[in-house]
Amino acid sequence: MKSEADVNLELQPDPQLGESKAIIWMVAIAALILFLCSSLKHGLFQSTAWDLGIFDQAVYLIAQGEAPISSFTEFHILGDHAAFILYPIALLYKVFADVHWLLAIQSIALSLGALPTYYLAQQAGLKTSQSLTLAAVYLLYPLVFNLNLFDFHPEVIALPAIFAAVLFARLERVGWFICSLVIILSCKAALALTVISIGLWLVLFEKRRLCGSIAISVGIAWFLIATQVIIPTIGGEGASVGRHITRYNYLGNSFSEIASNSIFNPVLWLGKIFSVGTLEYAALALSPIIWRLSPRHLTPLIPAIPALAMNILSSDGAQRDVIHQYSLPVLPFLILVVISSLADNRGWLRSNRAIILWALLGFLILSRSHFFLGRYWESLDTWQATREAIEQVQTDKGSVLTTAEIAPHLTHRALVKLAITEPPPTDLTRFQHILLNVKHPGWLSNPEFAQGLVDRLKTTPQFRLSYQKDRVYLFDRV
């Protein structure tokens, strides 16, 4: 017969179960918030053809059994970054073709990074409250929120997989580790460099030789296959990896010249490293977690070196901020540094409350959450007219010429082009529909250019004006 003490013990809630529920709830709530924010931004015509329209069109064409050749880039989507992950995503479009699948996947993937963060912190010996705090620090890191708003990029799916790869390597779960690598590599060819660096770090510093050797071998093999076979073969000349070389043309005009100058003329890149731009980048990336950075625990940053090097040396400022996707491969390793420092009781913020407040302050300053208080509502005065015009176009899959902000709402067709000034559209008769918003002409356009197109179309006999309201014009080819 059970004693009263035994009965009372059985009636007590399992603390482990409560802890598991807490992190699951954190992830679920974060995913919902991120999805609602990105959906609202898209609904307000603040997403663009680059890059939401590109990927929505590609996934739609895959689901339709057609070649996913983007009419924006004019080459096969695999020629972009060899992102095979888009093919399983297309299965969702077979059920119901809607761009919100991409927004939902992105929100869930970004939020899921908190889960392995929590378990990595637990594995490092941190208390449950500290582990949950670090999961919250990850979710409040400005890059997470900003990436969620920056249209869609397949590499966001790699973010939780990078965390998971480290976790499974430390747990010696080789099978799951390999699965994580497959997911990472299927998102973007350049992530092979991150995988190689993860392997080197695992071998040299984590003493996980098997997982490290696998990562190095698989990373090198995939990088060569993707960049030397898949991208040039499927994508053609327009998709050449060399198209990104202009960001580093101060080092040379070819890969061989860049390599040579990097070795024999280091002043070129040393000047870039020790510059105000790099200092600003470091401040943006580190300030949300500066409270726990310790020089004694920086080795987890080794896998981030390829991404950091490409970002710092690039002449494109977008690679040195916490807004664009370029810093995504750096984030997991910054969090690992924080975990390592916290486990060694290093840093100047001690209490969980102070840590959360600091993370919240960084979020409020560096995230684009304030855009919902002003910038994202700028085109509200033409919102209704734009929606009505889009509904008319959606009735068929004819070719469309429109603005960069309207385009992601009309990418479920083979041909969509942008009404932009450079290069301007020439043969208008190739389009079945031309939808323009003169008041808000969007990215790479201006009201004068848009009005000029409207005036031109009004005198073109092949087109008729089928809708006009609030300076929103829809022309259909006769």
> Minimal CA–CA distance to 319: which of 244, 375, 250, 261?
244
Q: Is the pLDDT of residue 467 over 60?
A: yes
> Minimal CA–CA distance to 154: which of 77, 216, 218?
77
pLDDT in the model for residue 246: 87
| pLDDT tens track for 251-276 | 988 888 988 988 989 998 999 999 99
Structure tokens, 86: 């888009």
Global confidence as pTM: 0.94
pLDDT in the model for residue 13: 41
At 399, which amino acid appears?
Answer: S
Of 170-179, 337-346, 426-435, which range is least confident? 337-346
Confidence of residue 474 (pLDDT cuts 50, 70, 90): very high
Q: Is the pLDDT of residue 1 over 60?
A: no
Q: Is the pLDDT of residue 109 over 90?
A: yes
In whole angstroms, give the CA distance from residue 459 to residue 198.
Answer: 61
| pLDDT tens track for 301-345 | 999 999 999 999 999 999 999 999 999 999 999 999 999 999 988
| pLDDT tens track for 124-165 | 999 999 999 999 999 999 999 999 999 999 999 999 999 999
pLDDT in the model for residue 16: 56
For the segment 35-41, the average pLDDT, to the nearest whole number, is: 98
In contact, 150 and 187? CB cutoff 8 Å? no
Determine how β-strand 433-437 pairs with β-strand 472-477.
Answer: antiparallel
pLDDT in the model for residue 294: 82
In whole angstroms, give the CA distance from residue 141 to residue 132.
Answer: 14
Q: What percent of the chain has a predicted confidence (pLDDT) above 70?
A: 96
* CA distances to 65, 102, 429, 473 from 68, in Å: 9, 16, 23, 29
In whole angstroms, give the CA distance from residue 237 to residue 35.
Answer: 36
* CA distances to 58, 335, 375, 439 from 384, in Å: 28, 43, 18, 13
Structure tokens, 54: 């590109």
* CA distances to 143, 379, 388, 389, 440 from 466, in Å: 43, 22, 11, 9, 19
Residue 433: HSE in the Cβ half-sphere, 13 Å Cα cutoff: 27
Q: Is the pLDDT of residue 10 over 50?
A: no
| pLDDT tens track for 335-388 | 999 999 999 887 778 799 999 999 999 999 999 999 999 999 999 999 999 999
In whole angstroms, give the CA distance from residue 97 to residue 95.
Answer: 7
Q: Is the pLDDT of residue 2 over 70?
A: no
> Minimal CA–CA distance to 347: which of 122, 162, 134, 145?
134
pLDDT mean across residues, the chain: 93
| pLDDT tens track for 198-253 | 999 999 999 999 999 999 999 999 999 999 999 999 988 777 777 888 899 899 88
Q: Is the pLDDT of residue 8 over 80?
A: no
Q: What percent of the chain has a predicted confidence (pLDDT) above 90?
A: 86
pLDDT in the model for residue 11: 37
Q: Is the pLDDT of residue 407 over 90?
A: yes
pLDDT in the model for residue 18: 59
Confidence of residue 395 (pLDDT cuts 50, 70, 90): confident
pLDDT in the model for residue 19: 66
Structure tokens, 154: 């397949």
pLDDT in the model for residue 9: 36
| Domain residue ranges in the chain | 17-239+275-372, 380-477
Determine how β-strand 400-402 pairs with β-strand 416-418.
Answer: parallel
In contact, 159 and 325? CB cutoff 8 Å? no
In whole angstroms, give the CA distance from residue 193 to residue 314.
Answer: 16
